[in-house]
Amino acid sequence: MRFFLLFFMCLLFCYPAGCFGESPEEKGLDIALEADLRDAGFMDFTADMLMVLRNKHGRESKREIRIRTFEVENDGDKSLLIFDTPRDVKGTAFLSFSHKVGDDDQWLYLPALKRVKRISSRNKSGSFMGSEFAYEDIASLEVEKYTYTFLREETYEGRDCFVNGSYPVDLKNSGYTRLVSWRDKDEYRLWKVEYYDRKNTHLKTLTFKDYEQYLGKYWRAADMEMVNHQNGKSTKLLWTNYQFKTGLTDRNFDKNSLKRAK
């Protein structure tokens, strides 16, 4: 019996990729990679987003945004955001090429001047359109932008979840020291993300609701809400009209496309 136990322990320590032998860092990365893999191959999608900003007195302000995203092989996604409301920014468009390594490329199109402006992507922690979402929260979540540590397994709202810690690689420009995310074990969908600011205090919580599956593979939440615990404000994103594999090409994401955006 003792021999058997010894043999078993040897097996445990020698078997490199076995789940028992995984370090929390390896397991954390594996979860992120698996989630990324499950969402890969969507090619492109378009969707409409209603952004509802709410201040601590309950006053609401709305923005309607159309989104087009294009999957790039071996690099981050390309995205084009076109604003429909508020009316004074109608036609303003935001083009972003995210990269797995290094800064993203971003341009802003100002329709009144017909001007395409390069903007600095180091404003990661800056507020997106006055909302509680920072640029880094809406950017495409490339695995390479964080390091990971698996924290624990936990039941969240009746689902068995992995609780994973993510740490921004670009610590200097990120507004966060860490993120803690809850993903269900069945489908690797995100249900909750907690954001910890530079002083490592809990700043915001993002929750996901009403997931729907598209093309039998891609899960998207129709309702996302970011609550800022420090200023009492919140921002809701309500997604409709998701369409995948619409046949978008690189040309829908060049600078001419910004000027055509309406």
Partner 1 sequence: MRKKIPQSHLLFFLFCSIILMPEIPAAAEFTSDVSVEGRGFFHSPVYPEQRRNNGSLAVNAEFYHEFSSGSSFIVTPFFRLDSADDKRTHADVREANFLYLAESWEMRVGIGKVFWGATEFVHLVDIINQTDLVEALDGEEKLGQPMIHLSIPRDWGTVDGFILPWFRERTYAGKKGRLRFAVPVDTDKAKYESGSEENHLDFALRYSHTLRDMDVGLYHFLGTSRDPVLIPEQNGSGRIILIPYYEQIGQTGLDLQFVAGNWLWKGEAFYRSGMGRSFAATTFGFEYTIVGIAETAMDLGLISEYVFDDRDVGRSPIVYDHDVMLGLRLAVNDADSTELLLGLIRDLKMSSKIITLEASRRMGENVKVNLEGSFFVDISKKDPSYGLAEDDFVKLEVTYYF
Report the residue number, 115 or 217, with the smaller CB distance to partner 1: 115
Distance of closest approach, residue 226 Cβ to partner 1, in angstroms: 13
Q: Is 177 in the site for partner 1 (CB under 8 A)?
A: no
Q: Which helix (H) or strand (E) holds 23?
A: none
Report the residue number, 103 or 223, with the smaller CB distance to partner 1: 103
Q: Which of 14, 87, 216, 240 binds partner 1 (CB under 8 A)?
A: 87
Report the residue number, 31 or 129, with the smaller CB distance to partner 1: 129
Q: Which of 18, 23, 41, 90 binds partner 1 (CB under 8 A)?
A: 90
Map the footprint of partner 1 across residues 123-142, applying CB under 8 A.
123-127, 129-130
Distance of closest approach, residue 28 Cβ to partner 1, in angstroms: 28
- Residues in contact with partner 1, counted by CB under 8 A, come to a total of 38
Q: How far apart are CA 117 and CA 124, in angstroms?
A: 17
Distance of closest approach, residue 258 Cβ to partner 1, in angstroms: 12
Show Cβ contacts of residue 47 under 8 Å, excluding neighbours closer than 6 positions.
66, 67, 220, 239, 240, 241, 242, 243
Of 154, 142, 178, 183, nearest to 31 by C-alpha is 183
Binding pattern to partner 1, positions 47-86, x when CB under 8 A?
Answer: ------x-x---x-xx----------------------xx
C-alpha distance across the termini of the chain, in Å: 74
Map the footprint of partner 1 across residues 29-48, applying CB under 8 A.
none
CB 83 within 8 A of CB 91: yes
Q: Is 117 in the site for partner 1 (CB under 8 A)?
A: yes
Distance of CA 117 to the CA centre of its chain: 24
Q: Which long-range contacts (CB under 8 A, 24 or more apart) does 138-143 make?
A: 139/96, 139/98, 139/104, 140/69, 140/76, 140/77, 140/79, 140/98, 142/76, 142/98, 142/99, 142/100, 143/29, 143/32, 143/33, 143/36, 143/100
Map the footprint of partner 1 across residues 182-241, applying CB under 8 A.
none
Report the residue number, 48 or 254, with the smaller CB distance to partner 1: 254
Lookup: tokens for 172: 């200097």
Distance of closest approach, residue 119 Cβ to partner 1, in angstroms: 7
Give 195's strand partners. Answer: 179, 204
Report the residue number, 116 or 143, with the smaller CB distance to partner 1: 116
Give the chain's length: 262
Burial class of residue 228 (count of CB atoms within 10 Å of its CB; 0-12, 13-18, 19+): middle
Q: Of 16-24, 29-37, 108-116, 161-169, which segment contacts partner 1 by CB under 8 A? A: 108-116
Q: Which residues bind partner 1 (CB under 8 A)?
A: 53, 55, 59, 61-62, 85-90, 103, 105, 107, 113-127, 129-130, 175, 251, 254-256, 260, 262
